[in-house]
Amino acid sequence: MRITVINPNTSVEMTRIIGDAATRAASPNATINAVNPDSGPPAIENHYDEAVATVPMLEMVRDGEANGVNGFVIACFGDPGLNAAREVATGPVIGIAEAAMHAASMLATGFSVVTSLERTCVIAEHLVQRYGMREHCRSIYACEIPVLGLLDDHGAAWERIVEKCRQARDTDGAGAIVLGCAGMADLTQELTNELGIPVIDGVSVAVRFVEALAGAGLATSKHGDLAYPIPKNYTGEFARLSPGKR
Amino acid sequence: MRITVINPNTSVEMTRIIGDAATRAASPNATINAVNPDSGPPAIENHYDEAVATVPMLEMVRDGEANGVNGFVIACFGDPGLNAAREVATGPVIGIAEAAMHAASMLATGFSVVTSLERTCVIAEHLVQRYGMREHCRSIYACEIPVLGLLDDHGAAWERIVEKCRQARDTDGAGAIVLGCAGMADLTQELTNELGIPVIDGVSVAVRFVEALAGAGLATSKHGDLAYPIPKNYTGEFARLSPGKR
Amino acid sequence: MRITVINPNTSVEMTRIIGDAATRAASPNATINAVNPDSGPPAIENHYDEAVATVPMLEMVRDGEANGVNGFVIACFGDPGLNAAREVATGPVIGIAEAAMHAASMLATGFSVVTSLERTCVIAEHLVQRYGMREHCRSIYACEIPVLGLLDDHGAAWERIVEKCRQARDTDGAGAIVLGCAGMADLTQELTNELGIPVIDGVSVAVRFVEALAGAGLATSKHGDLAYPIPKNYTGEFARLSPGKR
Amino acid sequence: MRITVINPNTSVEMTRIIGDAATRAASPNATINAVNPDSGPPAIENHYDEAVATVPMLEMVRDGEANGVNGFVIACFGDPGLNAAREVATGPVIGIAEAAMHAASMLATGFSVVTSLERTCVIAEHLVQRYGMREHCRSIYACEIPVLGLLDDHGAAWERIVEKCRQARDTDGAGAIVLGCAGMADLTQELTNELGIPVIDGVSVAVRFVEALAGAGLATSKHGDLAYPIPKNYTGEFARLSPGKR
Amino acid sequence: MRITVINPNTSVEMTRIIGDAATRAASPNATINAVNPDSGPPAIENHYDEAVATVPMLEMVRDGEANGVNGFVIACFGDPGLNAAREVATGPVIGIAEAAMHAASMLATGFSVVTSLERTCVIAEHLVQRYGMREHCRSIYACEIPVLGLLDDHGAAWERIVEKCRQARDTDGAGAIVLGCAGMADLTQELTNELGIPVIDGVSVAVRFVEALAGAGLATSKHGDLAYPIPKNYTGEFARLSPGKR
Amino acid sequence: MRITVINPNTSVEMTRIIGDAATRAASPNATINAVNPDSGPPAIENHYDEAVATVPMLEMVRDGEANGVNGFVIACFGDPGLNAAREVATGPVIGIAEAAMHAASMLATGFSVVTSLERTCVIAEHLVQRYGMREHCRSIYACEIPVLGLLDDHGAAWERIVEKCRQARDTDGAGAIVLGCAGMADLTQELTNELGIPVIDGVSVAVRFVEALAGAGLATSKHGDLAYPIPKNYTGEFARLSPGKR
């Protein structure tokens, strides 16, 4: 089974972290291909970055689709363009926020999200609502670490992340932690040891969920609003993105 | 007051309809500039079209912003990229679905949405949820008319639209109709006459709401998650979209 | 366009503040008539005051209607009798809480309400629920200032209001403030300057929204539950309020 | 224990039906006093009627309170002025819609409301939302019988009511029926026999619930927003309604 | 009227407290039979205890049913097996959490739950959701007292319970307190005196509500999902629990 | 990895179907042990059956736990005793309704449930609510086939199941079908072929999700309300179920 894990930002270093986490998590019969676009924002930290990064992400789904990939992971906690990617794809497509929140709801009766920047909290909040997790999500915390700051300075980031996780566990009664940034993937094991509760990295779980769905013979519904995009000719620079007949 | 009304698809004919509706609706002291990108999908009929069309739409907000425009209307019923556009803009930005649903909730205790294609209904549904209109929205109907079909064949479209509006009014108890496609803007008056209940074209109301907010001295919050995008250098073809320091 | 702005309490001083705010906000082609009943509570501070004040408010809507007024604003943050007023009126009727919350949801992804008395918070809370603003409202604060205390002692009131607004902005992540009392209307500009985020006075926005709806050719739905009241003869002292044939 | 059952409309005939139902339902140690105002609408069929009728209803709560009554029932399915009445009262105050819906949720996992006029359905709907019954309420039906028509023509009304009840039971899976009009109280037993499922008359249950709460030593909370109204002098014709010091 | 009050745990001492509260609350024409199983957990402090205790509780409903009992109270705050018990029973069956929350919503616009152990809070939370009390419940507090600790050490328990009740009243604006454990029943009066707001013991209210429903001629719906269990032969040790033909 | 799949009813034939589906779905490195109790209901068709069957199901989790099993599937669509089982287990525990609904939400924007008996629909409905799937679930249909009837008469059952699935797909816009009974597991492939949309058997997906979670190094949270049951001595016949120290 071949799974493409897409980091929608252009940071090669973050793609490496994501790819490592995905490879560690994948079962032996899955092959992980971690990719990122060479065009767009180097980090996704607000709605605008997210909107722009969605287009090259979709191009990568198109590429994967052309290469017969079996499933996709969108490795950015805002799950940008998830339904658009599902229209393009034949196999399952899972966002890391989606995967992590669903997993958390199966392991604890309440979870908290610990993410990078304050201004991305509202994105997490909207996803909580969209995935029906309002009753399961106890709190959402930001550590005020820029996404790429995670790469530069794990020491200071670590302290702040641990502090917020403890607050979630001890004050809000969270039974599990959802890490709110793909760049935190390599902290998962250490945080689990520190906190004694499940700490969930969406990349790992999303890879496993794609395997689970595909392994159970399931694929994205091609009936209704997730059917392949209606063929049409786009104009201008985006002409290359025109959805063809399938 | 200068208001830019953005049709995010590339159909010049639809931009004309939208521009006409906007101009008719605007008060004398507002100047309407109806625009569309020359790159992207000619009609927005699914999640994928919407995701791609968001980028040129954002470019137009950037352009408007550079020209000191006072507010923006996003004239596609899916309200694509609304929060991203708000980050970029200083003045108010309103989506036509948002405007129409809010207006409907002020004129009737329940409304129905009558839109173009079946597969876009889920987009309307997600917006109903996001705008807190679950208790106000009685039903969502599709007329199975492709977006551009509205332009070609008003006769057949008319019959189907009227039928769904009647069903909403008589069976579901809708006190108002929200038209679910910018391309229906020029049917508004005729439908109102036919049905005897408020028929709401989002373009008209969105223009008026931008005027209302700006007129009351209000602008998009620049605190928190709608602050200007964090400056950073994008790479590749999207480098031109890099959010600068403001 | 003639708009009647009804202060449902009997305080002439508060009507003056409301009328000033309404006039400042109105566009040049709108004429504001700010009125209050001479019968009923001098301030609306609980459910009972609100219920009693609804009747003279409705009489004023009847008067306005008889005089061909184009729209109404109910200038009390509890939006008392809103649907009853809509039954009586032909043009749009908007409550100031309704207007302010809807506006806030278009300018920020989250807002907070700062109101006068603790015991009115539950009224704001019920309106948040009714208008579908549960996901947008971050918090509701009371300043423990009696409604008329705002008139007497702006100094002390000011301190407490600013403190609560700061808490909303800095602790709860509110991107906008909704002022929870018509009597705060004249503090709006100063608070906006102090806080750097949109501070929304419902009177101003409601006036503008009535203009917007009427300007877009929209009126209250006269189909279904907002149709004119079924004609019948009331008895006793309320006989004068009997809804006639229209 | 003395319970005042208030029919907020002026129909003496309906008060008789309500009083009979209340008396039949009451336990031996309760005394029922069924009353109606002599001022206001003869039937409550829309928001406006409801708003006006609330004031004389509140006067009757004041009267009851002055006479040391132990509890109140508001016998109109819209539960008009419920929280205002609770502020005035010391003992429990229960609305018949509230009582019937709560009772239904204890006897079946889903119920339907069968009411009089189409245009009152939205009132029932708002109450369903307010009482947290969204998951329990399967459907709301109107029989298109004017409230006083129930008194004139039980034959035709009967047929239509039974038809809607059957539809609720057989198509929507309702396990119980909530009668949506105080004037239907005397049909309860016959409908129960006909349908074989609990048919709930709010008057009967509300009386019993007032007894239950008072019997368990409970009274309306006088802390917070249901405390006695803040004393103040009302002006004009409503001066007599001024809330005094208690 | 004969009412069986079932303490689903095996603590005879707690059954005594529950029986006393039930008897004090019952009206003169009701006979209370407080019982507990001799098999199962001595206290119910988590999901597992609750699941096991449900079976002997259901046996007691079967026994009561065989003896023609008129109604049942399930006297454990998690309301274990409520719908299963309703299938077995002919008369009303009410859980004490259900009764207390419904009563609270009739006496105050907001209530808080004060319960025993932290880990049972999630059970209360799920019930709040199930009974539609999300908008009414202000907070849920645990006092970290083991259920049976209430029996041993009222002094220390008292202090902690009062502290949490005060916090609910003064910080969260709760107008009433719901006691979250049947073992707190005998503290109700004293707490009411201390706090000056309604303190609601579910046992008392549940008994009164069973009386109210049965007194109003109402019984559990035997249509649909609460009909008597479909007859079938169970195997093994649970063969004795086989639902027979009725 | 060893996974115990528990059929909580005593039907050996159904356990065989479930075991076959589980084994087909499992990845090569998982070993499936499909078991059923020898005590309790032969089919679970209402709340009462479910409550009784929970106890032997929990015993099997205890057994599995004693044998170091890595995870559990509860193979009954009501997900009976899910949280209780999670308290007992160390590894992941997943219910088949939970698994199927979560999977469906990842493959389509809306799904429908097609289940066996009408009276179990409410159980599915409660799970939809509990898992936050209100916005994703389009409809719930019963085929009026007794659970064991599926085993006896696949021909007639097939027709009715296909009919309801078609209705869900064509009328309600469901993009995927969730099979609402473990006994339907062996129809999955054939239904998928017939309908052309994902048809989801909870047994298959639950097995795969247990593998996914355990494979990603995740286990049930042992902090808070899913910690091991508090040790205590049960009395009577259930003494053997006493939770010990771990």
Give mean pLDDT, residues B42-60.
97
Cβ contacts of C132 on chain A, cutoff 8 Å:
none
Shortest distance between the Cα of B237 and any Cα of chain C, in A, equals 30
Tell me the angle at which helices D202-215 and E96-107 cross, rounded to the nearest 10 degrees: 100
- Summarised one tens digit per residue, pLDDT across range D41-83 is 999 999 999 999 999 999 999 999 999 999 999 999 999 999 9
C-alpha closest to that of A174 among A97, A102, A124, A114 = A114
Question: Distance of CA A5 to CAs A31, A33, A49, Å?
Answer: 10, 6, 19
Residue E30 main-chain phi, psi, to 5 deg: -110, 140
State residue A131's pLDDT score. Answer: 97
Q: Rounded to an integer, what distance in angstroms lies between the CA atom of residue D64 and that of residue D69?
A: 5
DSSP string over chain C: -EEEEE--S--HHHHHHHHHHHHHHS-TT-EEEEE--SSB-SS--SHHHHHHHHHHHHHHHHHHHHTT-SEEEE-STT-TTHHHHHHH-SS-EEEHHHHHHHHHHHH-S-EEEEES-GGGHHHHHHHHHHTT-TTTEEEEEE----TTHHHH-HHHHHHHHHHHHHHHHHTS--SEEEE--GGGGGGHHHHHHHHSS-EE-HHHHHHHHHHHHHHTT-----SGGGSSPPP---BGGGGGG-----
The least confident of B114-123, B206-215, E93-102 is B114-123
Q: Rounded to an integer, what distance in angstroms lies between the CA atom of residue B102 and that of residue B213?
A: 14
The least confident of B58-62, B204-208, D145-149, E19-23 is D145-149
DSSP string over E53-65: HHHHHHHHHHHHH
Q: Residue A172 class from Cβ within 10 Å (0-12 exposed, 13-18 middle, 19+ buried)?
A: middle
| Mean pLDDT across chain C | 95
State residue A155's pLDDT score. Answer: 75
Confidence of residue F157 (pLDDT cuts 50, 70, 90): confident
Q: Rounded to an integer, what distance in angstroms lies between the CA atom of residue A128 and that of residue D128?
A: 25
Shortest distance between the Cα of C107 and any Cα of chain E, in A, equals 26
- Second CATH level (architecture) for the domain C2-95+204-241: 3-Layer(aba) Sandwich (3.40)
Mutate to test the interface with C, among B102, B106, B213 (most CBs of C within 10 A): B106
How many CA atoms lie less than 13 Å away from E151 in the CB half-sphere? 14
Give mean pLDDT, residues F112-134.
95
| C182 pLDDT more than 90 | no
Which residues of chain A fall below pLDDT 50? none
Mutate to test the interface with D, among B109, B170, B172 (most CBs of D within 10 A): B109
Token reading at E100: 């207390």
| B36 pLDDT more than 80 | yes
Q: Rounded to an integer, what distance in angstroms lies between the CA atom of residue C245 and that of residue C232?
A: 8
Contact C95, C44 (CB under 8 A): no
Residue type at E125 in one-letter notation: E
Partners of A40 in the β-ladder: B235
For residues E95-121, one letter each, b for 16 or more C-beta atoms within 10 angstroms of the residue's C-beta and e for the rest, the string is: bbbbbbbbbbbbbbbbbbbbbbbebbb
Q: Determine the straight-line distance between the first and last CA of chain B, rounded to whole angstroms.
A: 22
If one compares A186 and B164, the residue with the highest pLDDT of the two is: B164
Shortest distance between the Cα of B69 and any Cα of chain C, in A, equals 16
Domain E97-201 belongs in CATH node 3.40.50.12500: yes
State residue B154's pLDDT score. Answer: 65
Q: Rounded to an integer, what distance in angstroms lies between the CA atom of residue C56 and that of residue E163?
A: 45
- Summarised one tens digit per residue, pLDDT across range E134-176 is 999 999 999 988 766 766 666 778 899 999 999 999 999 999 9
Token reading at C30: 């709108």
State residue B151's pLDDT score. Answer: 64
Confidence of residue B241 (pLDDT cuts 50, 70, 90): very high
Touching subunits of F (3+ CB pairs, under 8 Å) are A, B, D, E
Using CB atoms, pick whichever of E25, E94, E216 lies closest to residue D205: E216
Q: Rounded to an integer, what distance in angstroms lies between the CA atom of residue E205 and that of residue E216?
A: 16
Confidence of residue D154 (pLDDT cuts 50, 70, 90): low
State residue D182's pLDDT score. Answer: 84
What secondary structure letter does DSSP report for B81?
Answer: T
Contact C3, C188 (CB under 8 A): no
Partners of F34 in the β-ladder: F5
Question: Distance of CA C61 to CAs B106, C37, C90, E48, Å?
Answer: 16, 11, 10, 60
Partners of E36 in the β-ladder: none
Domain locations in chain D as residue ranges: 2-95+204-241, 97-201
Could you tell me how many CB contacts below 8 A there are between chain B and chain C?
Answer: 163
Partners of D71 in the β-ladder: D3
- Summarised one tens digit per residue, pLDDT across range B92-129 is 999 999 999 999 999 999 999 999 889 999 999 999 99
State residue C154's pLDDT score. Answer: 65
| C134 pLDDT more than 90 | yes
Confidence of residue E43 (pLDDT cuts 50, 70, 90): very high
Touching subunits of E (3+ CB pairs, under 8 Å) are A, C, D, F
Partners of A177 in the β-ladder: A112, A199
Name the E strands within chain E. Answer: 2-6, 31-35, 71-74, 93-95, 111-115, 137-142, 176-179, 199-200
Cβ contacts of B217 on chain C, cutoff 8 Å:
25, 189, 192, 204
Token reading at E120: 């049972």
State residue C155's pLDDT score. Answer: 75
Class of domain F97-202: alpha beta
State residue E132's pLDDT score. Answer: 97
Contact C213, C99 (CB under 8 A): no
C-alpha closest to that of D110 among E86, C129, C45, A175 = E86
CB atoms near residue D157 (< 10 Å): 21
Cβ contacts of E129 on chain A, cutoff 8 Å:
135
Contact C139, C111 (CB under 8 A): no
Confidence of residue F151 (pLDDT cuts 50, 70, 90): low
Mutate to test the interface with B, among A15, A48, A120 (most CBs of B within 10 A): A48
Tell me the angle at which helices C96-107 and C121-130 cross, rounded to the nearest 10 degrees: 60
| F28 pLDDT more than 70 | yes
| D153 pLDDT more than 70 | no
Shortest distance between the Cα of F132 and any Cα of chain B, in A, equals 14
Cβ contacts of B86 on chain A, cutoff 8 Å:
47
State residue C157's pLDDT score. Answer: 83
Cβ contacts of A197 on chain F, cutoff 8 Å:
221-223
Sign, CA dihedral F206-F207-F209-F213, equals: positive
| E214 pLDDT more than 70 | yes
Q: Rounded to an integer, what distance in angstroms lies between the CA atom of residue B115 and that of residue B102?
A: 17
The residue in chain B having the minimum alpha-carbon distance to the alpha carbon of residue D129 is B135
Confidence of residue C147 (pLDDT cuts 50, 70, 90): low
C-alpha closest to that of F111 among B180, B120, A220 = A220
Mutate to test the interface with B, among C107, C111, C137, C205 (most CBs of B within 10 A): C107
